[in-house]
Amino acid sequence: MELSRPSKLGRRAFSALAGTTVLGLALGGSVSGGALPASGAPGPVPTGPPPGPPGADGRRHRIALDRYSLLVDGRRLALWSGELHPFRLPSPSLWRDVLQKMRAYGHNAVSVRLAWNQHSPAPGRYDFTGVRDLDLFLRTAAECGLYVVLHPGPYIGADVDAGGLPGWLTTVEGRAGSTGPAFLRHADEWLRRVNAIAARHQFTRGTGTVLLYRADTPGRADLDHLRDRLRADGIEVPLLHAGSPLAWQEPGPTRDAAEARRAHFDRLARGSTLHNVRMAFGGTSWGWLAAPSAPSPTYDPTAAIDEARRPTAKLAPLHQLGHLLRHVPDFTRMTAAQEVRAADPRVRVRHLANPDTGAHAYVLRNDSAADVTSTLPMGGRDVEVTVPARDAKLLATGLHLGAGRTLAYATVQPMLSLSVGTLDIAAFVGRAGEMAHLVLDCPDEPWPTRLDEEAAWTFDHGELHVMVPLKEDRLTRVRVRSGETDRTLLLLFADDAASLRLWPYETPSGRVLVRGPELLREAALDGAVIRLTGDTVDERELEVWAPPGITDVTWNGTRVQSGLGRAQSLMTVWPLPGVPRLVLPALDGWRRRAENFESRPDYGDEGWTVADRRTTHGTTPVPDGQPVLFADDYGFHYGDVWYRARLTGAAGLESVSLSYRTGAHGLLMAWLDGEPLGSHRPGGAGDGKGTWTATADFRVPQALRARGGEDGGPLLSVLVRRTQHGQDGYRAARGLTSARFEGASPDVRWRIMGAAAPDPVRGPLNTGGLYGERHGWHLPGYDDGTWEPGSPAAAGDADRRQGVTWYRTTFRLDVPPETDASVGLVVGDTRARDVRVQVFLNGWNMGEYGGAGTGAPHTVVLPNGILRTRAAANTLALAVLSGGDTPPGPGPVRLDLLGSAAGGVPVKPVSSPARHRG
């Protein structure tokens, strides 16, 4: 859900505004010293080098904007942000891993949403420790050289339960998003707690890199209140909201590289320099975090970096565009130019120009199902270009690529242009199989040298033509010299795969460019040595372009033998090693135990809550003559909930009808005096707001109909998997809503039980109300020695039972310290088992596997930190809900190596308290 909508104030309106101004974007008045330009010169800030990488440098900084871009300390900044939700990666050590990857892949900012429900288990109670440590995340982002765009809500959407609103908010006065005092009292308290941390990390103060603050502000009155709130809390960075003059550009999810190019090139073609990739990293909706709109544990499988922290196929265009915006300043001040049309109308063209540098950009889009080759007027001539089907291209003319050399045109996209010592380097990218044609305006005859056999060149009438067939994962280099300058131009040509192994990096002593490894995390110049850290998967060459005086290279702390290459680079003599092969253990030694003791008539429920309320703050009507049965009204906001009712005067009872409401994948099971009545699942598409309403009708077996005499009547037990609150209807009821009986009119007294007190370490969304959860069966240290042997795969037709069955085992991994291994748990096989499986690793709820009768397996990613990988024991527990027609097991369960790399970041174990004995 896009919360900050593009502004209605377009470029025409902006064009009437002269100079630079904050345009009301700030909380009030100017930002940290006033409007820019700092030089005091009238008119727009000219195109120039961007500000250096941000950090907590202890200096005051100024932020402003004009109709072209953000301005940081008087320099233009094209923001290329990637969205990451820290709460979807419950291992703080891995925050650094993903942030370093985002920076390496071209991002200069991270967009962060904060889920209120993760931090607040009850009114007035807040927790910012452990996996909820916002202060640690903001420090890590600054250490990784990334700006932060902070979005604390209160409502964030993001396919999170209730859009991030805490469960307890369903039971208090005041409607979320309103300006009423009841809601604002709670929302202000939440923001005050967040702002106390964020204020310490503001870029304007030099104490962090928080650059922008996003808000969900539905109305003017709410916006005024929010500004007052932020000002009182010391927040001084600019505020982005629905009416901001500079639009927050956030295309929706894209399925592949071609669609990503179309979406983001389109934003660039409209002149936007405030971009966000949603999602840069999707992560896991672990525990009961997921909203009904995205109930799978895997959040956004189309993200550029996948749930296992691996790059995906669509990452290449984002990597290329991010580095283009960073290393080619012309794109920070582009405006619409004279209309240009391709000869073939299937290719749509947007033409932009930079008034300072004379550079032009052409965004070509082909929405047809066939590749289109057409001529396009570029740089004063007709150029033949090919745009693949349903794809896009970004071409440029007039870019200055070094001393006296200007790009006349190219049929491939520029990726970066930078200077290293006396060397000017320009990289261009295209698709494998494409013929790249680049033309340089050269006032004097150049001396080109082909460094790789693919390249060809010719010089004619002051133009150097270079032709390169782009090959899969192959970099082609051409060196250009002339007698008029001592600077050398190095042209690099790469396809998508090869571009993902080009790593520009800015150090305090100058820029460097590294080629070869799967990832460059950091580069530091230390005397004559350049110290590189990063990751390799396969054996890779290492090539480094560094400032003069650098003669030696270390990789991950080890010196590598290198020499000077023909491209004026340091080349390693031997390839960097790849990652060693890892073998994961088989999961065996399983033990199992059935539960749902709550269904037995003799189970003691004296400590359960009596469900006898008559009014609710929820939006679901209370049926006439019945008590409120909604789980939230009794403080049970997440996971499964149990109901028990003694039916007095139930002799002759023929049927029971139970109405209930759930989120996606809801489930109801019922027993009468311990005998199963059956299971029920809501059908249909729900109400469109995340709620499914259903009624389960159960016939009472003949043997049970005579009960209801002197013993007080039969005992009705109901288990409801109530699942998530909807994002747009968070107050809708969850759990039972009413009960109806045929054949008798019993007196009914309800009791209810759900999750125990929230886990103080794992948080309020970790566990629900199953017996095993309430008694620590999911935790390390629980003594399961009396359980029977039995694996999830061994459960067969003879074991069919309605209810809950638990499985537990332990396993050990021994991953070498220099290896980053991403491990998943594969649950299920091809057999159709309609079961629900909750996966717990070391007590952490990693999410639900729902077979739903399809038999499709699912891989649950086990994040390092929660997963102990260094010769330590791990406890795996599965809670399986099954109907009487299905074996109580998901089938085979195994570990799977999702990816590994030589490198990574140090990982600290995430606190995973064991069950207290006694």
Residues with Cβ within 8 Å of residue 139, at least 6 apart in sequence: 56, 201, 208
Q: Are 479 and 451 in contact (CB under 8 A)?
A: yes
Q: 718 has which bridge partners?
A: 643, 670
pLDDT at 252: 81
Q: What does the alpha-carbon distance between residue 322 and residue 307 come to, in Å, rounded to a whole number?
A: 21
pLDDT at 852: 57
For the ranges 151-155, 190-194, 215-219, 872-876, the lowest mean pLDDT is seen at 215-219
* Residue whose token pair is 């009487």: 884
**pLDDT digit string, tens, across residues 345-395:** 999 999 999 999 999 999 999 999 999 999 999 988 999 999 999 999 999
Q: Are 617 and 689 in contact (CB under 8 A)?
A: no
Q: What does the alpha-carbon distance between residue 288 and residue 765 come to, in Å, rounded to a whole number?
A: 5
Q: Are 94 and 820 in contact (CB under 8 A)?
A: no
Q: Are 389 and 364 in contact (CB under 8 A)?
A: no
Residue 1 has pLDDT above 80, yes or no: no
pLDDT at 698: 97
Residues with Cβ within 8 Å of residue 422, at least 6 apart in sequence: 486, 487, 488, 548
What is the radius of gyration, based on Cα positions, of the chain?
31
For residue 182, give the nearest of 173, 193, 191 by alpha carbon.
173
- Between the alpha carbon of residue 523 and those of residues 274, 490, 740, the distances in Å are 27, 21, 70
pLDDT at 247: 67
Q: How confident is the model at residue 37 (pLDDT cuts 50, 70, 90)?
A: very low
Tokens of 901: 């790399």
Provide the CB-side half-sphere exposure for 70 (13 A, CA).
Answer: 32
* Residue 279, preceding peptide bond in cis (omega within 30° of 0): yes
Residue 740 has pLDDT above 80, yes or no: yes
Residue 41 has pLDDT above 60, yes or no: no
Report helix, strand or coil for 375. Answer: strand
Residue 240 has pLDDT above 70, yes or no: yes
- Between the alpha carbon of residue 296 and those of residues 2, 166, 292, 729, 863, the distances in Å are 21, 20, 9, 20, 16
Tokens of 628: 């409120």
For the ranges 240-244, 663-667, 669-673, the lowest mean pLDDT is seen at 240-244
Q: DSSP letter string over 13-54?
A: HHHTS-S-B-TT-SSSS-SSS-SS-TT--SSPPPP-PPPPPP
pLDDT at 244: 73
- Dihedral sign from CA coordinates of 493, 494, 495, 499: negative
Q: Is 370 exposed, middle or buried (0-12, 13-18, 19+ CB in 10 A)?
A: exposed
183 phi, psi to nearest 5 deg = -70, -45
- Between the alpha carbon of residue 342 and those of residues 350, 366, 564, the distances in Å are 10, 11, 45
Residues with Cβ within 8 Å of residue 469, at least 6 apart in sequence: 433, 434, 435, 436, 454
Q: What does the alpha-carbon distance between residue 197 and residue 134 come to, in Å, rounded to a whole number?
A: 7
Residue 397 has pLDDT above 50, yes or no: yes
Question: Whats the size of the chain, residue-wise?
Answer: 918
Helix and strand element counts for the chain (H, E): 10, 51
* Percent of the chain residues topping a pLDDT of 90: 81
Q: Where are the alpha helices (DSSP H) in 199-307?
A: 220-232, 257-269
Which residue would you say has higher pLDDT here, 245 or 121? Answer: 121
pLDDT at 705: 82
Q: How confident is the model at residue 7 (pLDDT cuts 50, 70, 90)?
A: very low
Q: Put the strands of the sheet holding 558-560 in their side by side order.
A: 519-526, 529-535, 552-555, 558-560
Q: Where are the alpha helices (DSSP H) in 761-861?
A: 771-774
Q: How confident is the model at residue 737 (pLDDT cuts 50, 70, 90)?
A: very high
Residue 453 has pLDDT above 80, yes or no: yes
pLDDT at 38: 37
pLDDT at 217: 63
Residues with Cβ within 8 Å of residue 10, at least 6 apart in sequence: none
Residue 584: count of CB within 10 angstroms of its CB: 15
Residues with Cβ within 8 Å of residue 715, at least 6 apart in sequence: 600, 601, 644, 645, 646, 647, 672, 673, 674
Residue 162: count of CB within 10 angstroms of its CB: 26
**pLDDT digit string, tens, across residues 606-647:** 999 999 999 999 999 999 999 999 999 999 999 999 999 999
pLDDT at 177: 74
Tokens of 193: 């707690």
pLDDT at 3: 29
Residue 17 has pLDDT above 80, yes or no: no
Q: What does the alpha-carbon distance between residue 223 and residue 236 come to, in Å, rounded to a whole number?
A: 15
Q: Put the strands of the sheet holding 360-366 in their side by side order.
A: 335-336, 347-353, 360-366, 391-397
pLDDT at 10: 34
- Dihedral sign from CA coordinates of 82, 87, 88, 92: positive
Residues 69-79 have a mean pLDDT of 95
Q: Give residue 891's region: left, alpha or beta (phi > 0; psi -120 to 50).
A: left
Beta strand residue intervals within 73-205, DSSP E: 75-77, 79-83, 109-113, 147-151
- Between the alpha carbon of residue 130 and those of residues 133, 262, 875, the distances in Å are 5, 40, 20
Residue 575 has pLDDT above 90, yes or no: yes
For residue 467, give the nearest of 456, 458, 459 by alpha carbon.
456
Q: What does the alpha-carbon distance between residue 407 and residue 113 come to, in Å, rounded to a whole number?
A: 41
Q: Are 663 and 690 in contact (CB under 8 A)?
A: yes
Residue 28 has pLDDT above 50, yes or no: no
Q: Give residue 776's region: left, alpha or beta (phi > 0; psi -120 to 50).
A: left
Q: How confident is the model at residue 709 (pLDDT cuts 50, 70, 90)?
A: very low
**pLDDT digit string, tens, across residues 264-305:** 999 999 888 889 998 999 999 999 999 999 888 999 999 999
Q: Are 634 and 283 in contact (CB under 8 A)?
A: no
Tokens of 9: 């104030």
pLDDT at 248: 76
Q: Are 722 and 731 in contact (CB under 8 A)?
A: no
H or E element at residue 190: helix 181-198
- Between the alpha carbon of residue 673 and those of residues 286, 317, 652, 707, the distances in Å are 35, 62, 15, 9
pLDDT at 44: 81
Residues 172-194 have a mean pLDDT of 89
Tokens of 786: 């009396």
* Percent of the chain residues topping a pLDDT of 70: 93
